[in-house]
Amino acid sequence: MRFDAAVMHAVNAPLAIEQVELAPLAPDDVLVKVMATGLCHTDLEALQGSLVYPMPIVLGHEGAGIVEAIGRDVTGLHVGDHVVCSWNPHCGHCFHCERDQPILCEPFIRHQPKGLLLDGTTRLRHDGQPIHHFFTTSTHAEYTVVPRSGAIRVPKDIAFDRACVIGCAVMTGVGAVVRKAKVEAGSSVAVIGCGAVGLNALQGARIAAAARIIAVDKGSAKLERAKAFGATDVVDAGDADALEQIRALTGGRGADYVFEAAGNRATLRLSVEAARTGGNVVWLGKLGVNEETSFRWGALMGEKRIVRSSYGNARPERDFPWIVDAYMKGAIKLDELVTARIALREINDGFAALARGEGIRTVITFD
Protein backbone atom coordinates (compact mmCIF):
# COMPACT_ATOMS: atom_id res chain seq x y z
CA MET A 1 0.00 0.00 0.00
CA ARG A 2 1.25 3.47 -0.91
CA PHE A 3 -0.01 6.86 0.20
CA ASP A 4 1.02 10.51 0.42
CA ALA A 5 2.81 11.82 3.50
CA ALA A 6 4.66 15.00 4.45
CA VAL A 7 8.22 13.79 5.04
CA MET A 8 10.82 15.74 6.99
CA HIS A 9 14.34 15.20 5.67
CA ALA A 10 16.21 18.06 7.36
CA VAL A 11 15.82 20.73 10.02
CA ASN A 12 14.58 24.13 8.81
CA ALA A 13 13.80 22.72 5.38
CA PRO A 14 10.43 22.36 3.63
CA LEU A 15 8.55 19.13 4.12
CA ALA A 16 8.30 16.96 1.01
CA ILE A 17 5.01 15.39 -0.04
CA GLU A 18 6.08 11.88 -1.00
CA GLN A 19 4.57 8.48 -1.58
CA VAL A 20 5.48 6.16 1.29
CA GLU A 21 5.02 2.42 1.53
CA LEU A 22 3.24 0.60 4.33
CA ALA A 23 4.66 -2.62 5.72
CA PRO A 24 2.29 -5.44 6.77
CA LEU A 25 0.45 -4.75 10.00
CA ALA A 26 1.78 -6.22 13.24
CA PRO A 27 -0.70 -8.05 15.51
CA ASP A 28 -1.42 -4.97 17.68
CA ASP A 29 -1.55 -2.43 14.82
CA VAL A 30 -4.45 -0.26 13.77
CA LEU A 31 -4.39 1.30 10.30
CA VAL A 32 -6.22 4.63 10.28
CA LYS A 33 -7.32 6.61 7.25
CA VAL A 34 -6.54 10.12 8.46
CA MET A 35 -9.39 12.57 7.93
CA ALA A 36 -8.03 15.57 9.86
CA THR A 37 -4.80 16.42 11.66
CA GLY A 38 -3.61 19.52 13.48
CA LEU A 39 -0.36 21.47 13.26
CA CYS A 40 1.04 21.73 16.80
CA HIS A 41 3.96 23.67 18.27
CA THR A 42 5.61 20.35 19.15
CA ASP A 43 5.72 19.50 15.43
CA LEU A 44 7.19 22.96 14.81
CA GLU A 45 9.87 22.36 17.44
CA ALA A 46 10.96 19.26 15.53
CA LEU A 47 11.01 21.21 12.27
CA GLN A 48 13.11 23.94 13.84
CA GLY A 49 15.51 21.52 15.51
CA SER A 50 14.84 22.21 19.20
CA LEU A 51 13.21 18.78 19.49
CA VAL A 52 15.59 16.27 17.96
CA TYR A 53 14.29 13.19 16.14
CA PRO A 54 15.88 10.88 13.58
CA MET A 55 15.10 11.55 9.95
CA PRO A 56 13.45 11.02 7.56
CA ILE A 57 10.29 11.24 9.65
CA VAL A 58 6.58 11.95 9.21
CA LEU A 59 5.40 14.46 11.82
CA GLY A 60 1.92 14.95 13.24
CA HIS A 61 0.47 13.74 16.54
CA GLU A 62 -3.02 15.27 16.62
CA GLY A 63 -5.19 13.21 14.27
CA ALA A 64 -8.62 11.69 13.76
CA GLY A 65 -9.86 9.28 11.15
CA ILE A 66 -11.49 5.98 10.24
CA VAL A 67 -10.19 2.51 11.06
CA GLU A 68 -9.17 0.91 7.76
CA ALA A 69 -7.69 -2.35 9.02
CA ILE A 70 -6.62 -4.01 12.27
CA GLY A 71 -3.96 -6.50 13.33
CA ARG A 72 -4.97 -10.02 14.30
CA ASP A 73 -4.74 -9.39 18.08
CA VAL A 74 -6.70 -6.12 18.15
CA THR A 75 -9.93 -6.24 20.13
CA GLY A 76 -12.58 -3.63 20.81
CA LEU A 77 -12.19 -1.90 17.44
CA HIS A 78 -13.68 -2.63 14.03
CA VAL A 79 -13.11 -1.44 10.51
CA GLY A 80 -15.18 1.70 9.99
CA ASP A 81 -14.92 2.93 13.58
CA HIS A 82 -14.07 6.60 14.04
CA VAL A 83 -11.02 7.19 16.22
CA VAL A 84 -8.87 9.94 17.68
CA CYS A 85 -5.17 9.09 17.83
CA SER A 86 -3.40 9.32 21.18
CA TRP A 87 0.30 10.17 21.01
CA ASN A 88 0.89 8.31 24.26
CA PRO A 89 0.02 4.64 23.65
CA HIS A 90 1.11 2.37 26.46
CA CYS A 91 1.80 -1.29 27.00
CA GLY A 92 -0.31 -1.60 30.16
CA HIS A 93 2.05 -3.89 32.07
CA CYS A 94 5.46 -2.23 32.53
CA PHE A 95 6.69 -0.73 35.84
CA HIS A 96 5.02 2.65 35.25
CA CYS A 97 1.85 1.38 33.60
CA GLU A 98 1.21 -0.86 36.59
CA ARG A 99 1.54 2.23 38.79
CA ASP A 100 -1.06 4.12 36.76
CA GLN A 101 1.53 6.32 35.02
CA PRO A 102 0.99 5.49 31.33
CA ILE A 103 2.69 8.74 30.28
CA LEU A 104 5.92 7.06 31.47
CA CYS A 105 5.29 3.70 29.76
CA GLU A 106 8.70 2.11 29.36
CA PRO A 107 8.36 0.87 25.75
CA PHE A 108 6.99 4.30 24.79
CA ILE A 109 9.82 6.17 26.54
CA ARG A 110 12.40 3.78 25.10
CA HIS A 111 11.29 3.74 21.48
CA GLN A 112 9.36 6.88 20.54
CA PRO A 113 12.37 9.28 20.81
CA LYS A 114 14.04 7.01 18.23
CA GLY A 115 11.09 7.40 15.87
CA LEU A 116 9.86 3.85 16.44
CA LEU A 117 6.58 2.24 17.45
CA LEU A 118 6.17 0.45 20.77
CA ASP A 119 7.68 -2.75 19.37
CA GLY A 120 10.85 -0.93 18.32
CA THR A 121 10.20 -1.03 14.57
CA THR A 122 8.75 1.16 11.82
CA ARG A 123 5.97 0.46 9.33
CA LEU A 124 6.84 3.13 6.77
CA ARG A 125 9.40 3.11 3.96
CA HIS A 126 10.37 5.24 1.00
CA ASP A 127 12.61 4.04 -1.80
CA GLY A 128 13.50 1.05 0.33
CA GLN A 129 14.61 3.13 3.31
CA PRO A 130 12.78 3.29 6.67
CA ILE A 131 10.71 6.34 7.54
CA HIS A 132 10.46 7.19 11.25
CA HIS A 133 7.28 7.72 13.25
CA PHE A 134 6.70 10.87 15.31
CA PHE A 135 5.21 10.27 18.77
CA THR A 136 4.02 6.90 17.41
CA THR A 137 1.34 8.69 15.37
CA SER A 138 2.72 10.46 12.24
CA THR A 139 -0.67 11.88 11.26
CA HIS A 140 0.57 14.29 8.59
CA ALA A 141 -0.26 11.67 6.00
CA GLU A 142 -3.22 10.08 4.27
CA TYR A 143 -2.88 7.02 6.51
CA THR A 144 -1.16 6.20 9.77
CA VAL A 145 -0.42 3.07 11.79
CA VAL A 146 -0.78 3.27 15.57
CA PRO A 147 -0.78 0.72 18.39
CA ARG A 148 -4.20 -0.38 19.61
CA SER A 149 -3.87 1.78 22.75
CA GLY A 150 -3.26 4.79 20.50
CA ALA A 151 -6.57 4.49 18.61
CA ILE A 152 -9.47 5.73 20.73
CA ARG A 153 -12.98 5.18 19.42
CA VAL A 154 -15.26 8.23 19.50
CA PRO A 155 -18.88 8.77 18.40
CA LYS A 156 -19.39 9.21 14.67
CA ASP A 157 -21.41 12.40 15.08
CA ILE A 158 -18.40 14.61 15.85
CA ALA A 159 -16.65 16.15 12.83
CA PHE A 160 -13.09 14.95 12.26
CA ASP A 161 -11.62 18.46 12.17
CA ARG A 162 -12.98 19.06 15.66
CA ALA A 163 -12.18 15.58 16.96
CA CYS A 164 -8.50 15.71 16.01
CA VAL A 165 -7.64 18.59 18.37
CA ILE A 166 -8.81 16.50 21.33
CA GLY A 167 -5.74 14.29 20.85
CA CYS A 168 -3.26 16.92 22.03
CA ALA A 169 -4.21 20.54 22.75
CA VAL A 170 -7.58 19.90 24.38
CA MET A 171 -6.53 16.90 26.45
CA THR A 172 -3.33 18.61 27.58
CA GLY A 173 -5.02 21.83 28.71
CA VAL A 174 -8.37 20.63 30.04
CA GLY A 175 -6.83 17.52 31.54
CA ALA A 176 -4.16 19.50 33.41
CA VAL A 177 -6.88 21.37 35.29
CA VAL A 178 -9.53 18.69 35.72
CA ARG A 179 -7.50 15.48 35.89
CA LYS A 180 -3.99 16.46 37.05
CA ALA A 181 -4.49 19.42 39.40
CA LYS A 182 -8.11 18.55 40.25
CA VAL A 183 -8.96 22.21 40.68
CA GLU A 184 -11.63 22.72 43.31
CA ALA A 185 -14.82 24.71 42.76
CA GLY A 186 -14.47 28.26 43.99
CA SER A 187 -10.68 28.34 43.52
CA SER A 188 -8.65 31.04 41.85
CA VAL A 189 -6.76 30.02 38.70
CA ALA A 190 -4.16 31.86 36.63
CA VAL A 191 -3.21 30.61 33.17
CA ILE A 192 0.00 32.06 31.73
CA GLY A 193 0.11 31.74 27.95
CA CYS A 194 -3.10 31.69 25.95
CA GLY A 195 -2.25 29.60 22.92
CA ALA A 196 -4.10 26.39 22.13
CA VAL A 197 -3.08 24.61 25.35
CA GLY A 198 -3.60 27.67 27.55
CA LEU A 199 -7.05 28.31 26.13
CA ASN A 200 -7.99 24.76 26.98
CA ALA A 201 -6.64 25.19 30.50
CA LEU A 202 -9.03 28.15 30.76
CA GLN A 203 -11.83 25.88 29.58
CA GLY A 204 -10.84 23.35 32.20
CA ALA A 205 -10.98 25.99 34.92
CA ARG A 206 -14.46 26.97 33.80
CA ILE A 207 -15.59 23.33 33.82
CA ALA A 208 -14.11 22.96 37.32
CA ALA A 209 -16.19 25.97 38.46
CA ALA A 210 -13.21 28.08 39.49
CA ALA A 211 -14.41 31.40 40.88
CA ARG A 212 -11.72 33.59 39.37
CA ILE A 213 -9.95 32.62 36.15
CA ILE A 214 -7.11 34.96 35.18
CA ALA A 215 -5.65 34.83 31.66
CA VAL A 216 -2.09 36.15 31.34
CA ASP A 217 -0.54 36.89 27.95
CA LYS A 218 0.74 39.74 25.82
CA GLY A 219 -1.56 41.71 23.54
CA SER A 220 -5.21 42.66 23.65
CA ALA A 221 -6.27 40.26 20.86
CA LYS A 222 -5.09 37.16 22.76
CA LEU A 223 -6.58 38.39 26.00
CA GLU A 224 -9.96 39.14 24.40
CA ARG A 225 -9.98 35.66 22.92
CA ALA A 226 -9.19 34.23 26.34
CA LYS A 227 -12.42 35.70 27.70
CA ALA A 228 -14.40 33.62 25.22
CA PHE A 229 -12.79 30.46 26.63
CA GLY A 230 -13.57 31.21 30.26
CA ALA A 231 -11.31 33.96 31.61
CA THR A 232 -13.02 36.22 34.14
CA ASP A 233 -10.05 38.59 34.24
CA VAL A 234 -7.06 39.33 32.00
CA VAL A 235 -3.55 40.58 32.71
CA ASP A 236 -1.10 41.76 30.05
CA ALA A 237 2.17 39.98 30.76
CA GLY A 238 4.00 42.92 29.21
CA ASP A 239 2.90 45.24 32.00
CA ALA A 240 5.60 46.01 34.54
CA ASP A 241 3.15 45.28 37.35
CA ALA A 242 1.67 42.05 35.91
CA LEU A 243 2.52 40.07 39.05
CA GLU A 244 0.97 42.73 41.26
CA GLN A 245 -2.17 42.65 39.12
CA ILE A 246 -2.49 38.88 39.59
CA ARG A 247 -2.05 39.26 43.34
CA ALA A 248 -4.55 42.11 43.49
CA LEU A 249 -7.14 39.91 41.79
CA THR A 250 -6.56 37.15 44.35
CA GLY A 251 -6.83 39.01 47.64
CA GLY A 252 -3.14 39.93 47.64
CA ARG A 253 -2.07 36.31 48.07
CA GLY A 254 -1.62 34.94 44.57
CA ALA A 255 -3.64 32.27 42.76
CA ASP A 256 -4.56 28.91 44.24
CA TYR A 257 -3.52 27.27 40.96
CA VAL A 258 -1.16 28.61 38.29
CA PHE A 259 -0.82 26.88 34.91
CA GLU A 260 2.18 27.88 32.80
CA ALA A 261 1.51 27.23 29.10
CA ALA A 262 3.94 29.56 27.34
CA GLY A 263 7.23 27.74 27.74
CA ASN A 264 9.90 30.38 28.34
CA ARG A 265 12.11 31.35 31.24
CA ALA A 266 10.21 34.51 32.11
CA THR A 267 6.82 32.80 32.32
CA LEU A 268 8.20 29.85 34.28
CA ARG A 269 9.57 32.33 36.82
CA LEU A 270 6.28 34.22 36.86
CA SER A 271 4.33 31.01 37.50
CA VAL A 272 5.96 30.33 40.85
CA GLU A 273 5.81 33.98 41.89
CA ALA A 274 2.09 34.17 41.04
CA ALA A 275 1.07 31.17 43.15
CA ARG A 276 0.01 31.83 46.73
CA THR A 277 1.76 30.19 49.67
CA GLY A 278 0.41 26.66 49.84
CA GLY A 279 -0.66 26.94 46.22
CA ASN A 280 -0.13 24.78 43.16
CA VAL A 281 1.96 25.33 40.03
CA VAL A 282 1.51 23.17 36.93
CA TRP A 283 4.01 23.48 34.09
CA LEU A 284 2.59 22.73 30.65
CA GLY A 285 5.06 24.70 28.53
CA LYS A 286 8.60 23.51 28.00
CA LEU A 287 12.11 24.62 27.17
CA GLY A 288 14.72 22.78 25.14
CA VAL A 289 15.73 19.60 26.97
CA ASN A 290 19.24 20.92 27.68
CA GLU A 291 18.24 24.49 28.52
CA GLU A 292 18.52 25.79 32.06
CA THR A 293 16.34 28.24 33.95
CA SER A 294 16.46 29.85 37.38
CA PHE A 295 14.07 30.98 40.08
CA ARG A 296 14.12 33.29 43.05
CA TRP A 297 14.49 30.91 45.98
CA GLY A 298 11.93 32.76 48.05
CA ALA A 299 9.32 32.21 45.34
CA LEU A 300 9.70 28.45 45.77
CA MET A 301 9.08 28.54 49.51
CA GLY A 302 5.80 28.54 51.39
CA GLU A 303 4.78 24.92 50.81
CA LYS A 304 4.07 25.40 47.12
CA ARG A 305 3.55 22.27 45.04
CA ILE A 306 5.10 22.26 41.56
CA VAL A 307 4.35 19.56 38.99
CA ARG A 308 5.01 18.96 35.32
CA SER A 309 2.04 17.79 33.25
CA SER A 310 2.69 16.57 29.70
CA TYR A 311 -0.72 15.17 28.76
CA GLY A 312 -3.15 16.26 31.44
CA ASN A 313 -3.01 12.94 33.31
CA ALA A 314 -4.80 11.51 30.28
CA ARG A 315 -6.53 8.18 30.23
CA PRO A 316 -7.61 8.45 26.60
CA GLU A 317 -10.14 5.59 26.66
CA ARG A 318 -11.91 7.43 29.48
CA ASP A 319 -11.19 11.05 28.58
CA PHE A 320 -11.58 11.36 24.80
CA PRO A 321 -15.23 10.20 24.82
CA TRP A 322 -15.85 12.41 27.88
CA ILE A 323 -14.53 15.45 25.99
CA VAL A 324 -16.66 14.60 22.95
CA ASP A 325 -19.73 14.33 25.17
CA ALA A 326 -18.94 17.66 26.84
CA TYR A 327 -18.52 19.27 23.40
CA MET A 328 -21.84 17.87 22.20
CA LYS A 329 -23.51 19.33 25.30
CA GLY A 330 -21.91 22.74 24.74
CA ALA A 331 -19.62 22.54 27.77
CA ILE A 332 -16.33 22.54 25.81
CA LYS A 333 -15.48 24.71 22.80
CA LEU A 334 -13.84 22.96 19.87
CA ASP A 335 -15.19 24.84 16.85
CA GLU A 336 -13.49 28.06 17.96
CA LEU A 337 -10.09 26.37 18.27
CA VAL A 338 -9.86 25.60 14.56
CA THR A 339 -8.96 28.86 12.84
CA ALA A 340 -7.71 27.54 9.48
CA ARG A 341 -8.19 24.45 7.32
CA ILE A 342 -5.69 23.50 4.63
CA ALA A 343 -4.77 20.61 2.34
CA LEU A 344 -1.73 18.40 2.90
CA ARG A 345 0.10 20.10 0.02
CA GLU A 346 -0.19 23.41 1.92
CA ILE A 347 1.50 22.10 5.06
CA ASN A 348 4.63 24.25 4.73
CA ASP A 349 2.50 27.40 4.52
CA GLY A 350 0.61 26.19 7.58
CA PHE A 351 3.78 25.80 9.60
CA ALA A 352 5.01 29.20 8.48
CA ALA A 353 1.79 30.73 9.82
CA LEU A 354 2.21 28.81 13.09
CA ALA A 355 5.77 30.15 13.45
CA ARG A 356 4.39 33.66 13.02
CA GLY A 357 1.89 33.06 15.81
CA GLU A 358 -1.19 33.27 13.60
CA GLY A 359 -4.50 31.74 14.69
CA ILE A 360 -5.04 29.00 17.26
CA ARG A 361 -5.03 25.71 15.38
CA THR A 362 -4.55 25.00 11.68
CA VAL A 363 -6.00 21.65 10.66
CA ILE A 364 -5.19 19.61 7.54
CA THR A 365 -8.33 17.99 6.18
CA PHE A 366 -8.59 15.12 3.71
CA ASP A 367 -11.51 14.38 1.38
- 16 and 144 assigned to the same domain: yes
What is the reported pTM? 0.95
Which CATH number covers residue 256?
A: 3.40.50.720
345 and 235 within one domain? no
Q: Residue 159 is which amino acid?
A: A
Per-residue confidence at 236, pLDDT binned at 50, 70, 90? very high
Task: Please check whether residues 39 and 135 belong to one and the same domain.
Answer: yes
Query: What is the average pLDDT across 248-260?
Result: 98
The answer to the question of residue 328 being in a domain is: no
Report the distance separating Cα 293 and Cα 301, nearest Å.
17
DSSP 41: H
- Average the pLDDT over 250-263 and give the result: 97
344 within a domain of the structure (yes/no): yes
What pLDDT does residue 367 have? 78
Residue pLDDT, tens place only, 55-110: 999 999 999 999 999 999 999 999 999 999 999 999 999 999 999 999 999 999 99
* 325 falls within a domain: no
| Angle of CA points 95, 168, 242, to nearest 5° | 105
Domain that holds residue 95: 2-153+334-365
pLDDT at 290: 87
Is residue 323 in some structural domain?
Answer: no
- What CATH number is associated with residue 120? 3.90.180.10
* Contact yes or no for 302/233 (Cβ under 8 A): no
pLDDT at residue 293 tops 90: yes
Do 346 and 270 belong to one domain?
no
Tell me, yes or no, whether 146 and 190 share the same domain. no
Backbone CA torsion sign across 138, 143, 147, 148: positive
Together in a domain, 138 and 176? no
Residue 319 belongs to some domain of the structure: no
Please state the length of the chain: 367
At 224-235, the pLDDT tens digits run 999 999 999 999
Q: What is the mean pLDDT of the chain?
A: 96
Based on the structure, what is the number of domains in the chain? 2
Query: Virtual CA dihedral for 267, 271, 272, 278, nearest 10 degrees?
Result: 180
Q: Is residue 161 part of a domain?
A: no
For the stretch 107-120, pLDDT in tens is: 999 999 999 999 99
- Of 332, 328, 347, whose CA–CA distance to 159 is shortest? 328
Over pLDDT 70: what percentage of the chain?
100
In the prediction, which pLDDT does 288 show?
A: 85
**Do 109 and 228 fall within a single domain?**
no
Q: Reduced to 3 states, what is the DSSP secondary structure of residue 147? A: strand
CA 164 to chain centre: 10
Are residues 131 and 42 part of one domain?
yes
Q: Are 285 and 338 in the same domain?
A: no
Task: Give tens-digit pLDDT for 6-60.
Answer: 999 999 999 999 999 999 999 999 999 999 999 999 999 999 999 999 999 999 9
Share of the chain above pLDDT 90, in %: 97
Q: How far is CA 41 from CA 51, 313, 362, in A?
A: 11, 20, 11
- Residues 340-365: what's their mean pLDDT? 97
| 171/201 Cα distance (integer angstroms) | 9
Q: What is the pLDDT of residues 212-225, one digit of tens each?
A: 999 999 999 999 99
Question: Is 358 within a domain?
Answer: yes
Confidence of residue 206 (pLDDT cuts 50, 70, 90): very high
Considering the domain architecture, whether residues 12 and 145 belong to the same structural domain is answered as yes
Which residues neighbour 65 within 8 Å (Cβ) at sequence distance 6 or greater? 32, 33, 34, 35, 36, 82, 83, 85, 144, 160
